[in-house]
Each structure stands twice: as C-alpha cells, then as structure tokens.
Structure 1
Amino acid sequence: MFAGRKFAAFLFDMDGTVLNSIASAERVWAAWARRQGLDVAAFLPTIHGVRAIETIAALALPGVDPAHEADVLLQAEAADVEGIVPIAGAVAFLAALPPERWAIVTSAPRELALLRMKAAGIPLPALLVAAEDVSRGKPAPDCFRLAAGKLGVDACDCLVFEDAPAGIAAAEAAGAAVMVISATHRHELQTPHAAIAGYEAIGISVDDSGWIAIEPVLAAA
C-alpha cells in the first residue's frame, strides 16, 4: 500500500471518509424526496459525495429552484446531527498528522461540515474546503486542486482519502493518488485504488522535509 511513496499532503473527504453521517443525511433527504414525489429508494444513493445544489439541479424538477432547495436542506441537516460518529481510527489518525499537511475537502457547505465534525469529535483542520469554495463540485477536480494550492503543494503529490465515486473521480482528475475508505459501503465498490475499512491498521511517518508516508500498524501478538 503505497510502499516507498511519500506525499506532500493528505486531503480528506468528510462524509463517509472521516465520519459517518449517512443516517442523518438520509433522514433529511428522504423527507425532501417524498415532498417532491420522488422514488426515495432510487434517489438516496445519488446524494452522496456531490454538492446538494448539483444533485437537485440534475433532477430538473419543474418549478424547483436548486439554490433555494439546497438552502432548505442545509438548514434541515444542520438541525439533525443525531447518530453522527467518526470512522474507526479517524480521530487519532488525523491528530497525528502535521497540521499544515492535511485538509478536509467536502461537498458539504461549511456550516454543515463544522457541525458534523463537532458532533463526531473530528479535529478541526487548519484548512477546510467546502461546497461554497468552488464553482464546480465533485467530480470536477477543482476542490482538490484548490486545497493543494492553499497548502502550497501540487495535487499530484497528494494522497486523497475518499469514499464516493464522484470524489474518487475528482481526485483522479486532479492527478492525486487515492485511498478508498469503505467503512460505510453497503456494496463493494469496484476500484483500482487501495482500500481500507478504517484507519486503525495504518499509521504515518514524516521525513525531515515534512513529507508523509503510510505505514502499516502491526497488531499486538
């Protein structure tokens, strides 16, 4: 798993990657979908990893303003953080990283991202790139390129931690390496990238220049 390779920075998606907010998100989106007369079971798998405004716009519902509805959903999601928990090992793994060498890069609005990280006990990053920071959301690479630039590194020298196809595609388009987090996957995701269920089996080492390598954590005998 990336043996012998070092990275200038780590970029983490949020939902499904460092925390699990599926129960909360699906409660809110299911209620919204029912109000719109949508097939809830068919619709819910489409919401993950993509900005709300783009999810709604893609539906092309008559008389529906995507910006207004995205704001309505934001307020509903902000009021519902019950059951949001960290992905196994994420808190310790993030806390071990040099603060200037990692960022959260999420499709969630900043207000919601901060609430969810607080609810899950995720350490706040020095850099958070949220939905409103880019004009094109995932699968466009803009968010990862922006995060890398703000950290002063090249995206191609970063390792992106993702869980959703849209985010994986965005990382690939940015030229970054990808680690897939499968903790919240209900079905196996077909991917050529390295995948782990959580962070408990990996650690890091940092060289004198601040570059980071992934190292396996050996189980105690």
Structure 2
Amino acid sequence: MNWKHGTIAAAVAAAAAIPAVAQTPIKNERVQFPRGASSATVRGTIRGYETVDYIVGARAGQSMSVSLKTTSKSAYFNVLPPRSQEAVFNGSLAGGRFDGRLQYSGDYRVRVYLMRNAARRGERAIYNLTVAVNSRPGGGPGNGGPGAPGPIRSGAPVSSGNMPAFCRGEASRQYGVRPAYITTGRVVANRGGSVIDGSADQGRNGIKRFRCRFDGRGRFIDVMAINRDGV
C-alpha cells in the first residue's frame, strides 16, 4: 500500500471514530421559574448520546445552585457560562451538585449528558434537575455594586466536591482572568474549616498565588493572597 492509499485509509478510520455526540444536535430548553420563586425543578430523560442544555438567565454576582437526581450512575451535568464552551463546573469530576457565585451576566447552560461508555451502550437516564438562582446580585465593595464577593461567612454552604470550582470562580473575578487561567489544588481541612491553595496566571503581570478559605460549615470566607505581589 503506497502512502496515498495509507493516508486515505487513515482518514476514513478517523472519520469513523468521531463520537456520535458530535453529530447529535443538543436540545435547548429554557428554565422557567414559577412566579415569585427562585428555584425550579425539571424532569427529563436522555438516551445514548442525547444531550440537553437547560438555559438559565442570571446576572453577575448572583449565586446559582444546581443538583441532579438520576436513575443512572453515568448521568452528569456541566455548567457553562454565557458565550463560552468552557465549563466552570464538570459534574463527572465534581459530583452531582454545583454551588457558585456567577461572574458574568447572561444565559448560563446546564448541560445534562451520559458518559461516553454509557452513551455507546444506548443507556437511558431519567432525572430531576433542580436549579436555583438568588433574587438579586451581591453587593460590590463599599458601593453595593454587582459582582463582588459576599460578606465573610455568608451564603449557602459549599460541598467539599464543589469547593475547587467555587474557588476558581471567586479567584477569577478577584484577579481579572478567565477561570481557565486559575489553577487550584486539593481541599485541605484545618481547625477552622477548609482551604484551597491556587494560582492565577495574569500573563505579563506574572503568577499570583492565593488561598481560598471556607469556614467549618463550608461557607466561603475569602480569597487571600499568599505572596506579596498576589494582592
């Protein structure tokens, strides 16, 4: 077989290896909150490579909570910020609940899907997805503006599995970079609660090291610089 035939055969094999999810349209459904309510639960079913994006409108500084109850151990959800394909929460890594302060205003997408091995087998998942968004954005530093961290030890407790994602969101806002440029370590328990050490890549301004702190109940305290130029 000459190189031309080898190249064609390789291309055909690569095309056959493309997962079906790439060819399956993602279903979009906007989450509607009942009048006067800040949360809603939707029930759905997915099979194989089917994927559903639940669209949730929210503003910077608001807090969002998402939880998934499902019949399948292979069903998860991701949270994607407005106008981005980069998830700020990956359920297959962090579990079935997300709690976080939102950095951007716009339509967030909660993407429900099956893991590839289960999708390949054509498995089905029945689920209840609960989404909650607080009624108003958090206040800014000294002026009540949106998008700033809340008061010390305020807000709902964050589970240990969600702490790294929550920490990345808070740090990305404090250092003015996208979550992709935030790196976090593991959750470490101490006498007062839990801490996560991380770093923010600010490009020409260098790498800034920080520590996210949570109290004994899992409530977020602050992002604390742990070197002089990390402020």
TM-score interval w.r.t. the shorter chain? Answer: under 0.3
Tell me the TM-score normalized by structure 2.
0.26
**Structure with the greater alpha carbon radius of gyration:** 2
Q: Write 1 or 2 for the structure with the bigger share of helix.
A: 1
Relative contact order (C-alpha < 8 Å, sep 6+): which is higher?
1
